[in-house]
Chain A
Amino acid sequence: MAGFLTLAISQLVGVIVPLIIKAGIDGLSRSAPVRTLLFYAGLMLGVALVKAVFQFWMRWILIGISRDIEYDLRNDLFAHLEKLSQRYYNETRTGDLMSKLTNDLSAVRNLVGPGIMYSASTIVVGVATIALMVHLDWQLTLLALIPLPVVSVLVKIFGQKIHDRFERIQALYSELTERVRENLSGVRVVRAFCQEEPEMALFDGMNCEMVRRNKGLIWISSFLWPVLALMFSIAFMLILVFGGRHVLAGRITVGTLAAFNVYLMYLIWPMIALGWVTNLVQRGLASLGRLWQIFAAQPDIDDRAAAPDVITSIRGEIEFRNLTFAYNGRPVLKNISLHIPAGRTVAIVGETGAGKSTLVGLIPRLWDAPEGSLLIDGVPVRRIPLAQLRHSIGFVPQETFLFSESILENVKFGAPEATLSEAERATAIANILPEILSFPKGFETMVGERGLTLSGGQKQRTAIARALIRDPRILILDDALSSVDTGTEEKILQELSGVAAGRTTLLISHRVSTVQNADEIVVLRDGEIVERGTHGELLANEGYYAELYRRQLIEEELEMEA
Chain B
Amino acid sequence: MAEAFHEEEVLGKAYDSRLMRRLLTYLRPYWRVVVLALIAIFFYGLLQAVPPYLMKVEVDRYLDPTHHAQIPKFLAGFLSPNPMVGIMQIALALFLPSAVLTFLLEFGQDFAMQFVGQKVMYDLRKQIFGHLQRLELSFYDRNPVGRLVTRVTTDVDVMNDLFASGVVAIFGDIFTLLSIVAIMLKVNWALALLTFSVLPVIVLVTMWFRKAVRESYRRIRVAIARINAYLQEHLSGVAVLQLFNHEDRSYREFEAINRVHMEAYKDSILAYGLFFPAVEFLGVAAVAIILYYGGLRSLGGAVTVGTAIAFIQYSQRFFRPIQDLSDKYNILQAAMASAERIFKLLDAPVTIADPEKPQTLPRYEAPALATAAAGVASDDGRLAGDGHAAGNGHAQGHGDGVLTGARIEFRQVGFAYDGVHRVVEDVNFTIEPGETVAVVGHTGAGKTTLTSLLLRYYEVQQGAILLDGIDIRQLRLADLRRNFGLVLQDSFLFSGTIASNVRLGLTPGMKPISDDEVREAARQVNALPFIENLPAAFDEPVKERGVTLSVGQKQLLCFARALAYHPRVLILDEATSSIDPQTEYLIREALRRMLENRTALVIAHRLSTIQNASKIVVMHKGRVREIGTHQELLDRRGLYFKLYQLQYKDQEIKTGSRE
> Could you tell me which A residues sit within 8 Å of B by CB distance?
14, 17, 21, 24-25, 27-29, 31-34, 36-38, 40-42, 44-45, 47-49, 51-53, 55-56, 59-60, 63-64, 67-68, 70-71, 74-75, 78-79, 81-84, 86, 89, 94, 97-98, 101-102, 173, 176-204, 207-208, 210-211, 214-215, 218-219, 221-223, 225-227, 229-230, 233-234, 236-237, 240-241, 244-245, 247-248, 254, 257-258, 261-262, 265, 352, 364, 366, 387, 390-391, 393, 395, 397, 401, 403-404, 413-414, 416, 446, 450-451, 466, 470, 547, 550-551, 554-555, 557-558, 561-562
B262 contacts across to A, CB distance below 8 A: 67-68, 70-71
**Contact call A41/B232, Cβ cutoff below 8 A:** no
Cβ–Cβ contact A194 & B481, under 8 A: yes
Give the shortest distance, in Å, between B299 (CB) and chain A (any CB): 7
Given contacts A86-B239, A190-B133, A387-B245, contact A52 B281 (CB under 8 A): yes
Number of B interface residues, CB 8 Å? Answer: 144
Specify which chain A residues have a CB less than 8 angstroms from the CB of B249 in the assembled complex: 416
A38 and B118: CB pair below 8 A? no
Closest to B111 in A: A222
The answer to whether A230 and B87 have CB atoms under 8 Å apart is: no
Report B450 CB to chain A, min CB distance, Å: 14
**Chain B residues whose CB sits within 8 angstroms of the CB of A42 once the complex forms:** 288
Answer yes or no: B36 CB below 8 A from chain A CBs: no
Docked-complex contact B122 and A196, CB < 8 angstroms: no
Q: Does the CB pair A413–B244 fall under 8 Å? A: yes
Instruction: Let me know if B492 and A189 touch, CB within 8 A.
Output: yes
Once the chains bind, are B273 and A366 in contact (CB under 8 Å)? no
For B507, the chain A residues whose CB sits under 8 A away are 193-195, 197-198
Interface contacts beyond A25-B291, A210-B122, A401-B236: sample of 20 additional A-B pairs, CB < 8 Å, sorted by A: A33-B295, A44-B288, A45-B288, A52-B281, A82-B251, A94-B235, A184-B132, A185-B492, A192-B484, A194-B478, A196-B134, A197-B507, A201-B505, A203-B125, A218-B164, A237-B91, A254-B305, A261-B313, A265-B316, A390-B245
> In the complex, what distance in Å separates the CA atom of A49 from the CA atom of B278?
9
Kindly list chain A residues whose C-beta atoms are within 8 Å of the C-beta of B288: 40-42, 44-45
The 5 tightest CB contacts between A and B, nearest first, are A198-B505, A37-B295, A414-B244, A52-B277, A233-B99
Q: Name B residues whose Cβ lies closer than 8 Å to a Cβ of A.
A: 2, 4, 51, 54-55, 58-59, 62-64, 66, 83-84, 87-88, 90-91, 95-96, 99-100, 102-104, 106-107, 110-111, 114-115, 118-119, 121-122, 125-126, 129-130, 132-134, 137, 140, 145-146, 148-149, 152-153, 164, 224, 227-229, 231-247, 249-251, 254-255, 258-259, 261-262, 265-266, 269-270, 272-274, 276-278, 280-281, 284-285, 287-289, 291-292, 294-296, 298-299, 303, 305, 308-309, 312-313, 316, 442, 452, 455, 457, 477-478, 481-482, 484, 486, 488, 492, 494-495, 504-508, 510, 545, 561, 565, 571, 578, 620-621, 639, 642-643, 645-646, 650
Query: Contact at B58–A240, with CB atoms within 8 Å?
Result: yes
Q: Are B114 and A41 interface neighbours, CB within 8 A?
A: no
Question: With A and B bound together, what is the CA distance between A413 and B238 in angstroms?
Answer: 13
B99 contacts A200, C-beta separation under 8 Å: no
Q: Find out whether the CB atom of A237 lies under 8 angstroms from the CB atom of B99.
A: yes
> Which residues of chain A come closer than 8 Å to B492, judged between CB atoms?
185-186, 188-189
Are B231 and A188 closer than 8 Å at their CB atoms?
Answer: no
| Residue with the greatest number of chain B CB neighbours at <10 A, chosen from A52, A202, A366, A562 | A52
Q: When the two chains form their complex, are residues A211 and B118 in contact, meaning their CB atoms are under 8 A apart?
A: yes
Cβ-neighbour of A179 out of B237, B255, B495 (below 8 A): B495
Does the CB pair B269–A59 fall under 8 Å? yes
Q: CB < 8 Å: which of A28, A173, A244 contacts B62?
A: A244
| Distance (whole angstroms) from the CB of B456 to the closest CB of chain A | 8
Q: Please tell me if the beta carbons of B137 and A188 are within 8 angstroms of each other in the complex.
A: yes
Residues of A within 8 A of B254 (CB): 75, 78
Query: Would you call A554 and B646 a contact (CB within 8 A)?
Result: yes
* B287 in contact with A44 (CB, 8 Å): yes
Output the least CB separation between B39 and chain A (Å). Answer: 17
On whether the beta carbons of B153 and A178 are closer than 8 Å, the reply is no
Is the Cβ of A555 less than 8 Å from the Cβ of B646? Answer: yes
| Minimal beta-carbon separation of A85 from chain B (angstroms) | 8
Closest residue of B by beta carbon distance from A562: B621
Question: What residues of A have a CB within 8 angstroms of the CB of B64 in the complex?
Answer: 29, 254
B295 & A32 in contact (Cβ 8 Å cutoff): yes
From A14, A67, A233, A470, contact of B102 by CB (8 A): A233
Are B103's CB and A230's CB within 8 A?
Answer: yes
Given A29-B305, A229-B106, A446-B2: A218 and B495 interface contact (C-beta under 8 Å): no
Q: Can you list 19 residue pairs at the A/B interface with Cβ under 8 Å?
A: A37-B294, A37-B295, A56-B277, A78-B251, A82-B251, A89-B238, A179-B495, A182-B494, A184-B148, A185-B145, A188-B492, A190-B133, A192-B455, A192-B571, A194-B507, A198-B507, A199-B133, A218-B164, A390-B243
